[in-house]
C-alpha cells in the first residue's frame, strides 16, 4: 500500500471494464477522463471528450498518425467513427505489450483494426516502419505525432518512456530525411542574403592546418569554462555560436568568428548583442541565415554553401556565382556548422565549451546571458534519457537527441582526416567519437594565436563589388522572367489535365497527354533553374503527389486530383518566389547606391525603411560615421521591429517554462531516485518568474525529496502546503498526485486514517482510486466505508468484475443478502467471460446466508 501509482503488473488495473455509459475502458488509465456520472445526451461520453480534444486533427489526407496510447481503445473507435477515412492516411496506435494484448483480444476493438488502422507494441513498430512508409510520409511532412489523453496525463512511466523514445526517433529520422528538401523559409532567407554576401570561405581553406580551435557553444557548461577561457584568450582561436554573444559581451570576450545559420527571426533576438563586437570579429553566416542579422552586421562577413538557391547554367565567360569548393555546412544546429567550419580551416583538434546537448539537473538548457536562461528552466518537453560524460543520467529533447546523433556522425566522418573532437563538459551528453578531456590538458601552445594570414587572405577589391551586384541583379531579373514562363506552362498543364479526364474523344485525350509531356520537358530542360527553384519552394507539397498514394487503386477522379495538385503546387511556388524577387532587386539597387560615396545618407536611410530593412542602419552608421541625430528615425523603426520580435520570443520561452510542466520532470527524477536532480529542480522553481504558482510545484518537489530521504513527516508537511495552496480548477493533476504521495507517506508513519482521507480526496478527482480507498478501509476493519468506496466506484464502472466480487464479499461479511442481490444485478455489464463464474460465486454467497432448514 505504500505505492499507489498504477503499475502494469497490477492485474486489476489491466482489466477492461464497462462504465455506466457503456464505454469499455481501463479505469486506471482513463478513469479521470471518461468516468462522468452526468447524463449529457451523448451515447458515449468518451467519444464526446475525444472529439472535444482532438477535433479534426486526426483526419487529414496523406498523413501517418503515430499515437502513443489508444485511451483504452476509445481513440481507435474515434478514428474509425469518421468514415470514410481520408485517402492516403494511416494510423498506428502504440501501446505497452500488456495493454495491446488485452485490446486485441477484445472483439469490439479487434474488429476496428485493419491495414490502415493498426495497434502495435513498440517492438512491432520498429519492424513495421518500412511497411507503413514512414520515410515517404516524412518526406512530405505528413507524420503526425500525438499522445492519447492517458499519455498526456502521464499516468504511468511506461507512457513517458514510449513518448520520449518515439519522439527522439522521429526527430532524428525527420532531420536525416528532410535536410535536403527545399523549404520556403530557407529559400526566402537565402534570397534575402543575396545583396550582402561577397566573400566565401574558400580563401581560408586549410589555412590553420594542424592547429587547435575552441568552439563556444550555448549549453550551461559554458559557464564552467569561462574563467579558463579568459585566462588563455590570447592563445585561442575562438569560434562562437551567435546566441551566446550576450554572455561574451558581459565578460569582454571577443571571438574570432561568430556563426549564425538559423533562418527564423528568433535567431535575431537571441543573438542581437553580437552587433556590439568590434571589427576583430568576423561573422560567418550560413547562406540561409536570418537576413536581418546579415543586413545589420557592420564588420567583415563570410558565407557558407552556395550563394544562389538554384543551379547556374555554365558560362565560359564569367566565373559562377555559386563558388565551387566553398564550405558545405552540415548538421541540425549552428554548433555542427562550427565543427565543419573548423575542419574546413584545417584545425585538427576541435574542442568545445558549452557543448551539452542535454539539460542540467535544474532544467536549464542554455548558458547565462541567453534569453532561455533568463526565462528559467525548460519544464515542458518530451524527455529522452541520455548518459553524460561523467556517467550520470540526464534528460534531453528529441531535437537535441538528433543533434547528438549528428555530432557522432561528424566525429566519425572527420576521424580519418586526423580531426579529433574534444568535449570537456562532464555534464554534457556522451557522444560516440567525441573525447571527454579537460581543456587544460590540450596543447594550446604558449604564444598568442597568430591570425594575420587570415586577415590578409580576406582583403576585398572594392572595384569588384559593383560587378558582383550587377551580375546578381541580372540573375534575379532572368529568374523572374523564367518563373513567369513556368507559371504559364503550369496553367496550360492544369487545362490539359482537366481536359484529359473530361474529354470523351480518345483522340483528344491523346493530344492532351502529349501536351502535358511537352510541358514537362519544357520545364525540365529549357527552364531548368526556374523549375528547380519553384519545386524546391514547394517540394513538401509536390512530393505528396507521388507518395505514399496507392496509384494502382486510384480512380480517374483521384488521378485528376493528383495532377491538379501538382500544377497548383507549381503555381503556388512560382507565386511565392515572384513575391520575393522585387524586394531583392530593390535591395540590390540599394547596395549599388551604398557604393557611391556621393549618395546622401538620408536617401539610403529612406531606402532602408522603404524596403523593410531598417536594421541596416547600423552598417551605414559605422561605414560613414553618422551621428545619432541623422539615423534617429530609422533606428526608431528598427527598435519597433526588435520590440515585436522580443515580445514573441518571450512568449515562446514562457510557454515552455510554465510551472505546471515541472510535475512531469519532478516525477521523472523521483522515479530514478535522483535526489540531487529533484533538489535542483525545487530550487529552480523557487526562483521562477511566477512565484505564486511555481511554489506549489516546488513544494511538491520538496516532498519527493524528503520521501527519497525517508523523512516522512517533512514530506507530509510539504504535501500539506501544496494542498493548502492548490487551485482545484487549474491544479487538479498536481493535487491528485500530491494526495497519492501524501497517502503513501501517511502509511509509512502508520497514520491509516490520514492515508484514507487523502485517498478519498484523490478519488473525488480521479474515481479510479476508489478501490484503493476501499482496500485501505478493509485493512482498518471499516467495512461500511469500504462498501461506500466500492459503491462510488461501481456507480461509474459497473462492469468491473473484480471489484464487484470484492463488494459482494463485504456484503456477505455483513450478512446483507440485499447488497449481494444489488451486485448480482450488475453482472450483465461485466465481460462475457467473467459472468458465469461471477454469478456462481454470488449465488454461493447468497446460499451461505440462508438459514439452515
Count Cα neighbours of 673 within 13 Å in the Cβ-side half-sphere: 3
Residue 243 near residue 218, CB atoms below 8 Å? yes
Query: Which triple of cell numbers denotes residue 380?
Result: 515542458
DSSP label at residue 526: I
Question: Does 9 score more than 70 pLDDT?
Answer: no
Measured distance CA(571)–CA(647) in Å, rounded:
35
Cα 496 to Cα 242: distance, rounded to the nearest angstrom: 51
- 551 vs 199: which has the higher pLDDT: 199
pLDDT (0 to 100) of residue 100 = 95
What are the cell numbers at 496? 490539359
Cβ-based neighbours of 212, under 8 Å, separated by 6 or more: 237, 347, 348, 349, 350, 351, 442, 443, 444, 445
In degrees and rounded to multiples of 5, residue 216 shows phi and psi of -100, 105
Q: Look at residue 41 in the predicted model and tell me its pLDDT.
A: 53
Q: What is the DSSP string of 105-158?
A: TSHHHHTT--SSEEEE-HHHHHHHTTTTTHHHHHHTT-EEEEE-HHHHTT-SHH
CA 779, chain centre distance (Å) = 47
pTM to 2 decimal places:
0.74
Q: Which of 6-15, 242-251, 317-326, 673-682 has the lowest mean pLDDT?
A: 6-15
Average confidence (pLDDT) over 270-286 = 96
Per the model's pLDDT, the better-predicted residue between 496 and 480 turns out to be: 480
pLDDT of residue 8: 28
Confidence of residue 853 (pLDDT cuts 50, 70, 90): very low
The per-residue pLDDT for range 23-60, each reduced to its tens digit, is 898 988 888 888 765 555 556 888 989 998 999 999 99
% residues pLDDT > 90 (the chain): 61
Question: Which whole-number Å values give the CA distances from 691 to 522, 662, 681, 701, 730, in the listed order?
Answer: 65, 13, 14, 14, 15
Per-residue pLDDT, averaged over 524-547, amounts to: 80
**Using CA atoms, how far apart are residues 472 and 65, in angstroms rounded to an integer?**
44
DSSP track, 196-254:
T---BSGGGTTTTTT-EEEEE--STTHHHHHHHHHHTGGG--EEEEGGGHHHHHHTT--
Rounded-to-integer distance, Cα 245 and Cα 253, Å:
9
Does residue 162 or residue 327 have the better pLDDT?
327
284 membership: H or E segment, kind and range: strand 282-285
What does DSSP say about strands 393-396 and 384-387: parallel, antiparallel, or unpaired? antiparallel
The secondary structure element, H or E, covering residue 117 is: strand 117-120
Where residue 305 falls (left for φ over 0; alpha for ψ -120 to 50; beta otherwise) is left
Q: What is the phi/psi pair of residue 170, to 5°?
A: -65, -40
Packing angle, helices 770-779 and 801-813, rounded to 10: 30
Q: Give the mean pLDDT of the chain.
A: 87
Q: How far apart are CA 506 and CA 136, in angstroms?
A: 35
* Residue 255 to residue 451: CA distance in whole angstroms: 12
Number of continuous H segments (helices) and E segments (strands) in the chain: 37, 16
C-alpha grid cell, residue 145: 505525432
- The dihedral built from the CA positions of residue 265, 271, 273 and 278, taken in this order, carries a sign that is negative
CA 328, CA 193: separation in Å to the nearest integer?
A: 17
Dihedral pair phi/psi, residue 377, rounded to 5°: -70, 145
The answer to which of 333-342, 496-505, 520-529, 564-573 has the lowest mean pLDDT is 496-505
Query: In this predicted model, what pLDDT tens digit does every residue of 266-277 receive, in sequence order?
Result: 899 989 999 999
Cα separation, 73 vs 108, whole angstroms: 9
Look at residue 548 and tell me whether its pLDDT is greater than 50. Answer: no
Cα 634 to chain centroid, rounded? 37
Dist. CA 634–CA 600, nearest whole Å: 15
Q: Can you give the pLDDT at residue 6?
A: 30
What is the pLDDT averaged over residues 760-772?
Answer: 92
- One DSSP character per residue, 297-342 reads --S-EEE-S-SSSSPPPP-SSS--SS-TT-----SSSHHHHHHHHH
pLDDT at 660: 81
CA dihedral sign, ordered 383, 384, 389, 391: positive
In the chain the first and final C-alpha atoms are separated, in Å, by 43
Q: How far apart are CA 422 and CA 351, in angstroms?
A: 5
> On the CB side of 653, how many CA atoms lie within 13 Å of its CA?
23
Instruction: List C-alpha distances in Å: 649 to 270, 290, 334, 652, 713.
Output: 8, 15, 19, 5, 43
The answer to whether 353 touches 222, Cβ cutoff 8 Å, is: yes
pLDDT of residue 38: 55
How would residue 133 be classed by pLDDT, with cut points 50, 70 and 90? Answer: confident
> How far apart are the C-alpha atoms of 642 and 270, rounded to whole Å?
11
Q: Is the pLDDT of residue 552 over 50?
A: no
Phi/psi at 798 (nearest 5 deg)?
Answer: -70, -15
pLDDT computed for residue 706 by the predictor: 96
Per-residue confidence (pLDDT) for residue 373, from 0 to 100 = 56
Give the pLDDT confidence of 393-435 residue by residue, as tens digits. Answer: 787 877 788 889 899 999 999 999 999 999 999 999 999 999 9
Confidence band of 280 (pLDDT split at 50, 70, 90): very high
Retrieve residue 631's grid coordinates: 539615423
- What 8-state DSSP symbol labels residue 159? H
- pLDDT of 546: 58
Residue 108: count other Cβ atoms within 10 Å of its Cβ. 12
Residue 4 confidence (pLDDT) above 60? no
- Residue 766's contacts (CB-CB under 8 Å, 6 or more residues apart) are 31, 32, 35, 736
pLDDT of residue 13: 54
The helix-helix angle for 184-192 and 528-537 (nearest 10°) equals 120
Q: Which residues pair with 213 in a beta bridge?
A: 350
Is residue 519 classed as helix, strand or coil in its secondary structure?
A: helix
pLDDT in tens, 625-677: 999 999 999 999 999 999 998 888 777 666 666 788 788 778 877 887 888 87
Cα separations in angstroms, 434 against 213, 350, 406, 422, 425: 15, 10, 12, 6, 11
Q: Which helix (H) or strand (E) holds 66?
A: strand 64-68
- Cα 662 to chain centroid, rounded: 17
**Which pLDDT belongs to residue 2?**
33
Looking at residue 692, its pLDDT comes to 86
- Under 8 Å between Cβ of 259 and 334: yes
More confident residue, 303 or 461: 303
State the Cα torsion 174-179-180-182 to the nearest 10°.
90
The predicted pLDDT at position 369 comes to 58
pLDDT score of 10: 38
Cβ neighbours of 196 (radius 10 Å):
21
Of the candidate ranges 425-434, 578-587, 728-737, the one whose mean pLDDT is the lowest: 728-737
- What is the rounded CA–CA span in Å between residue 346 and residue 555? 58
Place of cell 570576450: 253
pLDDT in tens, 220-260: 899 899 999 999 999 999 999 999 999 999 999 999 999 99
Residue 84: cis peptide before it, omega within 30 degrees of 0: yes
Name the grid cell of 286: 550560413
pLDDT of residue 208: 97
In which residue are the cell numbers 542574403 written?
193
Per the listing, cell 474488429 goes with 111
Helix (H, G, I), strand (E, B) or coil at 666: helix
Between these two residues, 727 and 811, which has the higher pLDDT value? 811
Query: In the block, which residue shows the cell 432448514?
Result: 853
CA distance 225 to 221: 7
What is the CA angle 331-337-343, rounded to 5?
Answer: 115
Amino acid at each position: 500500500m505504500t505505492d499507489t501509482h498504477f503499475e502494469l503488473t497490477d492485474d486489476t488495473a489491466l482489466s477492461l471494464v464497462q462504465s455506466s455509459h457503456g464505454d469499455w475502458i481501463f479505469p486506471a488509465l482513463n478513469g479521470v477522463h471518461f468516468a462522468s456520472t452526468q447524463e449529457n445526451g451523448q451515447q458515449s461520453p468518451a467519444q464526446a471528450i475525444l472529439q472535444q480534444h482532438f477535433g479534426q486533427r486526426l483526419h487529414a489526407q496523406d498523413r501517418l498518425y503515430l499515437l502513443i496510447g489508444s485511451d483504452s481503445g476509445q481513440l481507435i473507435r474515434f478514428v474509425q467513427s469518421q468514415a470514410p477515412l481520408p485517402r492516403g492516411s494511416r494510423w498506428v496506435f502504440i501501446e505497452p505489450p500488456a495493454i495491446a494484448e488485452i485490446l486485441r483480444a477484445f472483439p469490439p476493438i479487434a474488429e476496428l483494426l485493419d491495414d490502415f488502422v493498426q495497434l502495435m507494441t513498440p517492438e512491432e513498430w520498429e519492424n513495421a516502419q518500412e511497411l507503413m512508409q514512414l520515410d515517404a510520409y516524412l518526406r512530405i511532412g505528413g507524420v503526425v505525432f500525438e499522445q492519447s489523453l492517458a499519455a498526456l496525463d502521464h499516468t504511468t512511466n511506461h507512457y513517458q518512456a514510449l513518448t520520449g523514445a518515439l519522439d527522439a526517433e522521429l526527430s532524428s529520422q525527420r532531420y536525416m530525411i528532410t535536410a535536403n528538401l527545399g523549404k520556403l523559409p530557407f529559400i526566402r532567407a537565402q534570397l534575402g542574403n543575396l545583396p550582402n554576401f561577397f566573400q566565401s570561405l574558400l580563401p581560408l581553406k586549410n589555412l590553420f592546418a594542424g592547429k587547435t580551435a575552441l568552439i563556444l557553444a550555448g549549453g550551461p557548461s559554458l559557464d564552467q569554462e569561462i574563467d579558463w577561457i579568459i585566462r588563455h584568450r590570447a592563445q585561442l582561436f575562438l569560434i562562437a555560436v551567435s546566441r551566446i554573444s550576450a554572455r561574451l559581451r558581459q565578460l569582454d570576450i571577443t571571438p574570432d568568428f561568430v556563426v549564425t545559420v538559423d533562418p527564423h527571426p528568433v535567431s535575431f533576438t537571441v543573438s542581437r548583442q553580437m552587433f556590439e563586437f568590434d571589427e576583430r570579429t568576423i561573422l560567418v553566416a550560413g547562406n540561409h541565415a536570418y537576413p536581418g542579422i546579415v543586413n545589420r552586421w557592420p564588420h567583415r562577413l563570410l558565407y557558407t554553401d552556395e550563394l544562389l538557391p538554384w543551379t547556374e547554367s555554365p558560362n565560359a565567360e564569367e566565373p559562377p556565382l555559386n563558388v565551387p569548393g566553398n564550405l558545405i555546412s552540415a548538421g541540425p544546429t549552428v554548433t555542427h556548422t562550427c565543427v565543419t567550419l573548423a575542419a574546413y580551416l584545417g584545425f585538427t583538434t576541435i574542442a568545445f565549451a558549452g557543448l551539452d546537448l542535454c539539460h542540467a539537473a535544474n532544467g536549464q538548457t542554455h548558458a547565462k546571458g541567453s534569453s532561455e536562461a533568463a526565462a528559467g528552466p525548460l519544464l515542458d518537453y518530451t524527455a529522452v534519457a541520455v548518459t553524460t560524460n561523467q556517467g550520470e543520467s540526464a534528460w534531453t529533447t528529441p531535437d537535441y537527441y538528433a543533434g547528438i546523433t549528428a555530432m557522432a556522425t561528424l566525429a566519425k566522418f572527420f576521424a580519418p582526416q586526423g580531426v579529433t573532437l574534444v568535449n570537456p563538459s562532464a555534464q554534457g551528453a556522451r557522444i560516440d567519437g567525441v573525447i571527454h578531456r579537460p581543456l587544460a590538458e590540450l596543447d594550446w601552445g604558449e604564444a598568442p594565436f597568430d591570425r594575420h594570414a587570415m586577415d590578409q587572405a580576406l582583403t576585398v577589391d572594392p572595384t569588384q563589388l559593383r560587378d558582383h551586384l550587377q551580375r546578381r541583379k541580372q540573375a534575379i531579373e532572368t529568374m523572374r522572367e523564367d518563373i513567369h514562363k513556368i507559371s504559364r506552362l503550369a496553367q496550360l498543364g492544369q487545362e490539359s489535365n482537366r481536359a484529359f479526364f473530361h474529354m470523351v474523344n480518345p483522340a483528344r485525350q491523346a493530344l492532351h497527354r502529349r501536351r502535358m509531356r511537352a510541358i514537362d520537358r519544357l520545364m525540365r530542360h529549357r527552364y531548368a533553374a526556374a523549375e528547380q527553384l519553384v519545386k524546391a519552394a514547394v517540394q513538401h507539397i509536390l512530393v505528396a503527389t507521388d507518395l505514399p498514394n496507392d496509384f494502382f487503386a486510384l480512380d480517374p477522379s483521384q488521378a485528376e486530383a493528383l495532377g491538379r495538385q501538382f500544377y497548383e503546387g507549381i503555381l503556388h511556388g512560382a507565386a511565392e518566389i515572384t513575391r520575393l524577387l522585387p524586394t531583392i532587386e530593390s535591395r540590390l539597387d540599394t547596395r549599388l547606391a551604398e557604393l557611391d560615396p556621393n549618395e546622401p545618407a538620408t536617401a539610403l536611410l529612406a531606402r532602408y525603411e522603404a524596403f523593410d530593412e531598417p536594421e541596416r542602419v547600423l552598417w551605414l552608421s559605422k561605414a560613414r560615421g553618422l551621428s545619432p541625430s541623422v539615423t534617429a528615425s530609422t533606428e526608431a523603426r528598427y527598435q519597433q521591429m526588435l520590440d515585436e520580435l522580443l515580445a514573441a520570443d518571450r512568449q515562446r520561452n514562457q510557454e515552455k517554462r510554465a510551472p505546471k510542466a515541472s510535475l512531469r520532470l519532478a516525477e521523472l527524477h523521483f522515479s530514478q531516485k535522483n535526489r540531487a536532480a529533484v533538489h535542483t529542480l525545487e530550487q529552480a522553481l523557487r526562483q521562477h518568474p511566477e512565484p505564486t504558482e511555481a511554489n506549489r510545484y516546488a513544494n511538491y518537489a520538496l516532498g519527493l525529496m524528503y520521501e527519497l530521504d525517508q523523512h516522512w513527516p517533512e514530506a507530509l508537511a510539504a504535501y500539506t502546503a501544496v494542498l493548502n495552496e492548490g487551485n482545484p480548477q487549474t491544479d487538479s493533476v498536481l493535487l491528485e498526485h500530491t494526495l497519492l504521495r501524501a497517502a503513501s507517506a501517511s502509511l509509512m508513519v502508520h497514520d491509516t486514517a490520514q492515508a484514507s482521507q487523502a485517498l478519498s480526496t484523490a478519488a473525488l478527482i480521479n474515481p479510479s482510486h476508489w478501490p484503493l480507498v476501499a482496500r485501505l478501509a478493509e485493512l482498518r476493519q471499516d467495512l461500511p466505508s469500504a462498501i461506500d468506496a466500492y459503491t462510488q466506484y461501481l456507480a461509474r464502472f459497473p462492469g468491473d468484475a473484480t471489484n464487484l466480487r470484492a463488494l459482494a464479499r463485504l456484503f456477505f461479511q455483513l450478512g446483507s443478502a440485499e447488497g449481494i442481490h444489488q451486485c448480482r444485478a450488475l453482472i450483465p455489464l461485466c465481460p462475457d467471460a467473467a459472468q458465469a463464474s461471477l454469478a456462481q460465486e454470488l449465488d454461493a454467497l447468497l446460499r451461505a446466508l440462508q438459514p439452515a432448514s
